[in-house]
Amino acid sequence: MFSKSTLAALLAVSLATSAALAAVKQYQVTGKLVEVTDKKLVIDKGDEKWEIERTADLKTKGDLKVGQKVTIYYHMVANSVDEK
């Protein structure tokens, strides 16, 4: 039989694995900042401009300034679903 500490370790690994599998996929996009507001970040990605919502819990390293090259990490969120 397993000891209590071994069972606890197995349970912890199992829970961590389940949480990792359930995590939402993260994406990233890199480009030049063309607009920075309290509500959004807009980057120039070659022939496209990407507008990404900026929430209060956004973590940044340094000051965001127009003209900087940045990498934005994001995930997709559904706002509504219509049945067809």
Tell me the domains of the chain and their CATH numbers.
Answer: 24-84 (2.40.50)
**Structure tokens of 18?**
């389940």
Whether 7 shows a pLDDT value over 60: the answer reads no
Query: Cα separation of 26 and 55, whole Å?
Result: 16
22-56 pLDDT tens trace: 688 999 999 999 999 999 999 999 999 999 999 99
In 3D, which of 53, 50, 49 has the Cα closest to residue 37?
Answer: 53
At residue 23, the pLDDT reads 80
Taking Cα atoms as reference points, which of 18, 49, 46, 48 lies closest to residue 35?
Answer: 49
- pTM of the predicted structure, to 2 decimals: 0.66
Percentage of residues of the chain with pLDDT beyond 90: 64
Res 24: pLDDT = 87
What is the model's pLDDT at position 11? 54
**Lookup result for tokens 């959004």:** 40
